[in-house]
Amino acid sequence: MPTALGFVWTLPNTLIGVVLGLVTFQIPRIAGGALVFDRSPRGLSWFLSKINRVAMTVGFVIISAEPVEGVLLAHERHHIRQYMAWGPLFIPAYLLTFLVRGYDRHPFELAAKRAAGELPASTSGAADATGAPARGRLTGMRQRHEIWGDDADEREAEATVSEFAQDLEVQRKWHDHPGVVPFKVVVRFIGRNGKRIGVTIAGFAIVLVGLILVPLPGPGWLIVFLGLTILATEYVWARRLLNFAKQKVGQAKDAVLRKKHEEPGTES
């Protein structure tokens, strides 16, 4: 996509980035064709450092707790190219994929790391400028048992995007109409992962309602457990947390029963 068209396509993201950059309370500079807020860790950039994140890119705006140069600049500039390809769809697509794959296995992040030389270039599962993997055997399914919270039956975001790369006719459409394919990718991705996305939204919503009701009279904890039960159908961490909660409830119940049995003996 031409730079001018890409700039206009992602302009809404850039405006959001400018607003977020102002929260760093510093004067920006221009670097690598981007508006960079990296003079000192203040405000939002200070918050990034506290959650173990160095920088974030929103449109043509880079916010960083460290000076943006070298590898870091190359990494963030690749994110800008992704914004130019996806436009307003980048943020929802990034967040949806983050829910399924997390940060370390996120295709957008892997693509940026390869472009910056942080990861070796690979023909197996390598990603292009839009975050889509190249043709070849996907590596995302490897060692899935080592990823806590993964479901072996989940649909990979990489596989969804790679279906377009394997179809030569669609691949030509990608090059001819770069603004159309992101819509198709997002729709197909949601269709393939609809169950997990629905469970995630419903489960967290119910847990949140339960936590709000905990201090009030009512079945607050029961609602929390209901939300965890829903999340446990898709996430191992929720299943473990639910089992831990059940174990603690059982222990508390046993302690109360023991105390009741001991009371007659102490009175005599």
Give me the tens of pLDDT residue by residue for the chain, a chain 268 residues long: 557 888 888 999 999 999 999 999 999 999 988 999 998 888 999 988 888 889 999 999 999 999 999 999 999 999 999 999 998 899 988 988 888 888 888 999 999 999 998 888 654 444 454 555 444 433 443 333 333 344 444 445 555 455 544 554 544 554 455 555 666 666 676 667 777 777 888 888 888 888 888 787 778 788 888 888 888 888 888 888 888 888 888 888 888 888 877 766 555 4
Closest CA to 151 of 197, 190, 184: 197
Contact (CB, 8 A) for 161 and 185? yes
pTM, entire model? 0.50
